[in-house]
Amino acid sequence: MTILVTGARGAVARSLVSLLRERGLQVRTGSQKPEEAAGAVLLDLKNPATFDAALQGVTSVFLYAEASHIDAFVDAAINAGVRHVVLLSSSSTLSPDAADSPVAREHLDAENALTASPLTTTILRPGTFAGNATAWSWPIKSGDPVNLVYPNSHVDPIHEADVAECAFAVLTDPELAGKSYLLTGPRSVTFAEELDLIAEAIGEPVVVNTVGREEWKAEMAEYMPGHFADALLDWWQSNDNVPAEITGTVEELTGHPARGFEVWIQDHAAEFKS
């Protein structure tokens, strides 16, 4: 039994690989840049020519949601004898307009391709990764304000270690396979509350500056296209002063409550210190 873990450089994948190897399981890691992930094989989910070699002898896959060649990946997995795929998707696929959303569409296309296949498919749908907060690390380290359009927009930040433990559970317990799981942190918090927790953890003040949509889009133009920025802003607006739905799925799968954002920032405080 060999488990292929894709996205080997990611936080979830690194934690998952450690858990699987501690159990004594045979693990292969795949990465678009294997030279940056010790021991990884070349697996570029945007390049089908890399699929067959990476999948040889694999029985289960932990798969990041890259949909550009998902049909080819499914075919290669079936031909290789893969029986189970755990897809790291997103709670955004549950939105009524998911098919039209640039935020959700990639994940939804991957979900649909896998569930239409003969492969046993388990879908993990985390909400907001706590690690998204690292986008604020540069202005915080520089002593600049953090610009937000909707500082009171709610999120359900989940620690990447909890996502990895959930993936470990569904990969190693056949009774949990073939289902979909909505994963969240333990409570709903606003962006402003997250920044307060960051300030407390690093012992330095963090200033929040409320800006307009166009100003924020101009600031982010180097990092994301306008249509994607609009979709994010629309999502945050819909959650402005609206608490996020919280589930107990992490505890059901792992046996312990989900880690809060305050735990995550203690783990990553050094990334925010000047």
**For the chain, what is the HEC assignment?**
CEEEECCCCCHHHHHHHHHHHHCCCEEEEEECCHHHCCCCEECCCCCHHHHHHHHCCCCEEEEECCCCCHHHHHHHHHHHCCCEEEEECCHHHHCCCHHHCCCCHHHHHHHHHHHCCCCEEEEEEECCEHHHHHHHHHHHHHCCCEEECCCCEEECCECHHHHHHHHHHHHHCHHHCCCEEEECCCCCEEHHHHHHHHHHHHCCCCCEEECCHHHHHHHHCCCCCHHHHHHHHHHHHHCECCCCCCCCHHHHHHCCCCCCHHHHHHHHHHHHCC
Residues 106 and 84 in one domain: yes
250, part of any domain:
no
Give me the tens of pLDDT residue by residue for the chain, a chain 274 residues long.
Answer: 899 999 999 999 999 999 999 999 999 999 999 999 989 999 999 999 999 999 999 999 999 999 999 999 999 999 999 999 999 999 999 999 899 988 899 999 999 999 999 999 999 999 999 999 999 999 999 999 999 999 999 999 999 999 999 999 999 999 999 999 999 999 999 999 999 999 999 999 999 999 999 999 999 999 999 999 999 999 999 999 999 999 999 999 999 999 999 999 999 999 999 8
174, part of any domain:
no
Question: What is the CB neighbour count within 10 angstroms for residue 102?
Answer: 14
What is the count of structural domains for the chain?
2
173, part of any domain:
no
Residues 216 and 237 in one domain: yes
pTM of the prediction?
0.96
Token pair 């690093």 is found at: 202
Question: Residues 11-25, buried b or exposed e (16+ Cβ, 10 A)?
Answer: bbbbbbbebbeeeeb
Residues 87 and 151 in one domain: no
Domain CATH code at residue 8: 3.40.50.720
What angle (nearest 5°) sits at the alpha carbon of residue 119, between those of residues 113 and 125? Answer: 60
Terminal CA-CA length for the chain: 46
Residues 36 and 70 in one domain: yes
Residues 62 and 9 in one domain: yes
Strand-pair category, 180-183 with 120-126: parallel
Strand partners, 88: 64, 124
Residue pair 166/249 in contact (Cβ under 8 Å)? The answer is: yes
Please give the biggest Cα pair distance in the chain.
Answer: 55
Residues 122 and 15 in one domain: yes
Domain boundary among 75, 107, 126: 126
Residues 222 and 109 in one domain: no
Question: What is the CB neighbour count within 10 angstroms for residue 212?
Answer: 10
Domain residue limits at 194: 128-158+185-244+260-274
Residues 90 and 46 in one domain: yes
192, part of any domain:
yes
66, part of any domain:
yes
Predicted confidence at residue 136, as pLDDT, reads 97
Domain boundary among 126, 147, 167: 126
Residues 134 and 220 in one domain: yes
Residues contacting residue 200 through CB under 8 Å, at least 6 positions apart = none
78, part of any domain:
yes
Question: How far apart (Å, rounded) are the C-alpha atoms in residues 22 and 1?
Answer: 15
Predicted confidence at residue 38, as pLDDT, reads 87
176, part of any domain:
no
Residues 264 and 153 in one domain: yes
Residues 69 and 117 in one domain: yes
Residues 33 and 117 in one domain: yes
Based on C-alpha coordinates, what's the Rg of the chain? 19
Domain boundary among 126, 141, 166: 126
Residue pair 274/143 in contact (Cβ under 8 Å)? The answer is: yes
171, part of any domain:
no
